[in-house]
Chains A and B, each alone.
Chain A
Amino acid sequence: MALDSSPENPAAVRTIARAVEGWIAKLGPVWVEGQVAQLTRRPGARLVFLTLRDTEADMSVTVTCLPHVVEACVPPLAEGQRVVIHAKPEFYAGRGTLSFRAAEIRPVGLGELLAALEQRKNLLAAEGLFDPARKKPLPFLPRVVGLVCGRGSDAERDVVENARRRWPGVVFETREVAVQGVKAVSEVTAAVRELDRLPHVDVIVVTRGGGSVEDLLPFSDEGLVRAVAACLTPVVSAIGHEKDSPILDLVADVRASTPTDAARKVVPDMVEEMRGVQDLRSRATRAIRGRLDRDSAWLDAARHRPVLAEPMVLVTGRESDVRLMLERSRRALDSRLARAADDVAHVRARVRALSPAATLDRGYAVVQDDSGAVVRVAADVGDGALVRVRVSEGEFRARREP
């Protein structure tokens, strides 16, 4: 098939052109999927020209077609639209240019798009790319936050401002890239890979504002999803609004609903953390101080107990006890003596009352026989018996005369 040529006998341009034309014709008609990058329709022109770009790679081809082919499209063909065309390669020998002649152009509708997305999602899921086990935890305090976002976008501002408010010390490594259209996939993927390689970048945030399904399509791109899956650095996906969920959300380590939410997830609220620490610290101090105060109060109380504060109490206490005892014993003694004195007086009175002295004083006399017994019956005393006679003043003996 190859032409034989050499510097000595070179092939003519027309020969080469015709050969290339032949080869190209061999491809025949094909169904091609791509994105309309450029559409030029000059009124009255015989042909319509458009550039069809590959959905992922940075390649494109020129497509020509008759006007009615374009008019047949519903919804009307527009730049950025994804299409599937049935075309045949044409080599224009005159200028050596290649273009595709489109016989039919079908816009890829939303339905097909979503179906294609779903199918891709299931495919990647089956590969285990979305397994929770693969999810890497976010660092508590990232040294540098990698940020992939649109140029000067609100999303970028939200992430940066919120992060800085929570932690003024935060450092960003930002890559502003296309976040929509044909260049989005390649630029975002390149930025993510680059940031992943930077050692000091501890977390990567990929973010963009809301948009249509097509706008967010790059963030469901298989190439990008695989790149993120391969990242060693944790990735946070913050694409579009709360309801949007491109495949990037599933493969990322953390899904943030909005750019602000992403800031909240990658950077701790240092002001809050500091307040927490300060709070714990003062509580600890109050606790220990309270403990010391309680113990000191206890010690003071113990010290002021009389037994410790005035030890003399021990001595005086005993002294008073002794004195008390003394008094009591003395009193007891006095009372006993007094009682004894009374007894004596009492007894004496009785003795005196019982003793015959008073009777004797009145002139009576007590006669006792020799045995000492008092004589009451005269006959008891025999004649000549000796008796003892006591009178008030003294006593004498007497003998019974017959």
Chain B
Amino acid sequence: MTATPEKPTFEQARDELTDVVRRLEAGGTTLEESLALWERGETLATICQEWLDSARTRLDAARGPATAED
């Protein structure tokens, strides 16, 4: 899984998601805006999850089955 122009890196997705949550919690946005923000938040969360899952699989693959879990 690599960062592509459309897909942000983990850090980018994380930072934007932090910002979305902050704005949603701060309120003061129109109903329409907050819905859009919420949808963006969901997308970003999925992207973060995908990065983390891929990192775990790469880690397990690299460690190989033989090594003892530590």
Contact = CB atoms under 8 A, between A and B. Distances in A.
Interface residues of B, number: 24
B59 interface: yes
Given A302-B45, A305-B21, A307-B24, A288 B59 contact: yes
Contacts of B41: 307-308
Given A288-B55, A289-B59, A307-B21, 10 more contacts: A281-B67, A288-B59, A295-B48, A299-B14, A299-B52, A302-B17, A302-B21, A307-B24, A314-B31, A314-B35
A292 B38 contact: no
Contacts of B21: 302, 305, 307-308
Nearest to A318: B31
Contact of B52 (A296, A303, A318): A296
A314 B24 contact: yes
A26 to B, nearest CB: 84
A308 B56 contact: no
B70 A285 contact: yes
B12 interface: no
Interface of B is mostly: helix
Interface in B47-70: 48-49, 52, 55-56, 59, 63, 67, 70
A307 B49 contact: no
A139 interface: no
Contacts of B31: 314-315, 318
Contact of A303 (B34, B45, B67): B45
A128 interface: no
10 contacts: A285-B59, A285-B70, A292-B56, A292-B59, A299-B52, A305-B21, A308-B38, A314-B31, A314-B35, A314-B38
A219 to B, nearest CB: 49
In the complex, the 4 A-B pairs of residues with the closest C-beta atoms, listed nearest first: A307-B24, A282-B70, A311-B38, A314-B34
A298 interface: yes
A281 B70 CA distance: 10
Contacts of A286: 70
Nearest to A281: B67
B48 A299 contact: yes
Nearest to A291: B55
A296 B51 CA distance: 10
Nearest to A301: B21
Contacts of B18: 302
Interface in A237-291: 281-282, 285-286, 288-289
A288 B14 CA distance: 18
Interface of A: 281-282, 285-286, 288-289, 292, 295-296, 298-299, 302-303, 305, 307-308, 311, 314-315, 317-318
B49 A299 contact: yes
Nearest to A296: B52
Contacts of B67: 281
A400 to B, nearest CB: 79
A293 to B, nearest CB: 10
B6 interface: no
A315 B56 CA distance: 37
Nearest to A288: B59
Contacts of A315: 31
B28 to A, nearest CB: 12
A16 to B, nearest CB: 85
A307 B17 contact: no
Contacts of B56: 292
Given A282-B70, A299-B45, A315-B31, A307 B38 contact: yes
Contacts of A295: 10, 14, 48, 52
Contacts of B35: 311, 314
A311 to B, nearest CB: 5
A298 B14 contact: yes
A302 B34 CA distance: 16
Interface string B18-43: 10010011010001001100100110
A314 B52 CA distance: 28
A104 B56 CA distance: 90
Contacts of B34: 314
Nearest to B49: A299
Nearest to B18: A302
A289 B42 CA distance: 25
Contacts of B52: 292, 295-296, 299
Contacts of A305: 21, 24-25
